[in-house]
Amino acid sequence: MKRLSLFLPIAALAFACDTEDPTTVAVNNDYPTDLVVAKAWWASSYFPDAIAPASEGEHLRTVPSTDFAYVVVAAGSKLIAMKSLAPLHVKRGDVLHIHVSDATFAGNCFTGHPLSQDDADFITSRIFPGEFDGIYDAATCTFFPAAVDGGVDAGGNR
């Protein structure tokens, strides 16, 4: 009986892991030209490197999860904040491909798919705050840099 009691926890551990293969995620820039995926975020995975049009970024290890994906797309010097239309899911041991295009993401004002201002504010202040230090208008995909504090005026008031 003692051997059986030792065997049961080991057997339970063996079945607890679905696979020993890593769970990974990659970003696919499905725009054919002009738009570069500058940065991306999904669940616990951050992609800091730019992904050229019609290219796939590196595969990163991740955790099984379901979440929205967020990207910053660069159209020349203009940055566009975008969010996947639906939450994306990956199971343990699988590969999630995040396909970035107007068919799968909202936020591209130039094609008539702007974000809500609440979504844009979340992306620009919480997900990619370093990219958007100022005000981002979701309806026009226009970024207004933060005002620079001119210092103390002659009266000593700020």
Backbone angles phi, psi at 106, to 5 degrees: -100, 150
62 in a domain, yes or no?
A: yes
> Percent of the chain scored above 90 by pLDDT?
72
99 in a domain, yes or no?
A: yes
Q: Token pair for residue 62?
A: 């991740």
71 in a domain, yes or no?
A: yes
The CATH number of the domain holding residue 138 is 2.60.40
What's the number of domains the chain is made of? 1
pLDDT in tens, 8-22: 454 444 444 556 899
104 in a domain, yes or no?
A: yes
Kindly report the pTM of this predicted structure: 0.81
123 in a domain, yes or no?
A: yes
151 in a domain, yes or no?
A: no
pLDDT in tens, 78-129: 999 999 999 999 999 999 999 999 999 999 999 999 999 999 999 999 999 9
Mean pLDDT, residues 37-60 taken together: 97
Buried b (16+ CB within 10 A) or exposed e, 5-29: eeeeeeeeeeeeeeeeeebbbbbbb
* DSSP assigned state of 125: I
Parent domain of 35? 19-143
Q: What is the pLDDT of residue 2?
A: 54
Mean pLDDT, residues 33-54 taken together: 96
113 in a domain, yes or no?
A: yes
Q: What is the pLDDT of residue 3?
A: 54
| Angstrom distance (rounded) from CA 2 to CA 8 | 10
Q: What is the pLDDT of residue 146?
A: 79
| Angstrom distance (rounded) from CA 122 to CA 129 | 9
Mean pLDDT, residues 48-53 taken together: 98
